[in-house]
Amino acid sequence: MSLRILVGCKRAIDYAVKIQVKSDLSGVVTEGVKHALNPFDEIAMEEAVRLKEKKLANEVIAVSCGPAQSQDVLRTALALGADKAVHVEVPAKEYETLQPIHVSKILAKLAEQEKVDLIILGKQAIDDDCNQTGQMTAAVLNWPQATFASKLQLKDKEATCEREIDGGLETISIKLPAVVTADLRLNTPRYATLPNIMKAKKKPLKKFSPKDLGVDITPRQEIVKVCEPPKRQGGGKVASTEELVERIKKLGVN
């Protein structure tokens, strides 16, 4: 089995950064802020590379949609083991309103062009927290979907996926080509080693515009405003177990 895998790689503000809302309430401050490959996409990338190492896949293509800086995460993906990268360039202004519906159509077009058997995406991006792109891409292609995957086993052209759901775990079986979205416990991603970072510089990186792929990125949603959540007081202390229990009993919740 020699699968061709497409992995979505989004450049998002690093998970450890304390974000700041812009004073004009138009969005979150991203200039000069540390960004990284979306953690769920790292997991997706790791899964794809492992499939290659198991000789079940022979080509892993990393894709990122965004302005020039998106190439940073593509270089990371190449260093982690992707064979080639595709940058779908979206200028900064338009990127602010690029939504999953656009990305799903872009990924679908690329999947068809590259004759991909499996698309692995992170289950959600930690910036917009949408959790939509995988499902939408599957719909555009009319492929089956396995979301929140915590285990993936491939045999012939079929995948058995264990998924994390509200009550526990669910196992489904899907036929390739398919879309899988990676959840936290699918794997533990590797770090890019320095030799691999150097090797990555020689790997191919192709650039397209959404127009090249026939995708209209006119926004469907307008961001009216972005503001800070109500501040929580916090810092309340109790001196002893007795005091804690007393205060809890006073709440009268049980």
Residue 226 CA, chain-centre distance (Å), reads 22
Say which residues have a Cβ less than 8 Å from residue 28's Cβ, sequence separation at least 6: 13, 19, 20, 21, 22, 127, 226
Sign of CA dihedral 10, 200, 43, 105: positive
69 vs 173, which CB is nearer to another protein?
A: 173
18 vs 115, which CB is nearer to another protein?
A: 18
16 vs 194, which CB is nearer to another protein?
A: 16
Beta bridge partners of 163: 149, 170
* Among 171, 206, 208, 10, CA closest to 100: 10
Three-point CA angle 182, 186, 191, nearest 5°: 95
78 vs 124, which CB is nearer to another protein?
A: 124
The alpha-carbon radius of gyration of the chain (Å, integer) is: 21
Least gap, CB of 75 to another protein (angstroms):
24
Least gap, CB of 72 to another protein (angstroms):
19
Least gap, CB of 198 to another protein (angstroms):
32
Least gap, CB of 58 to another protein (angstroms):
23
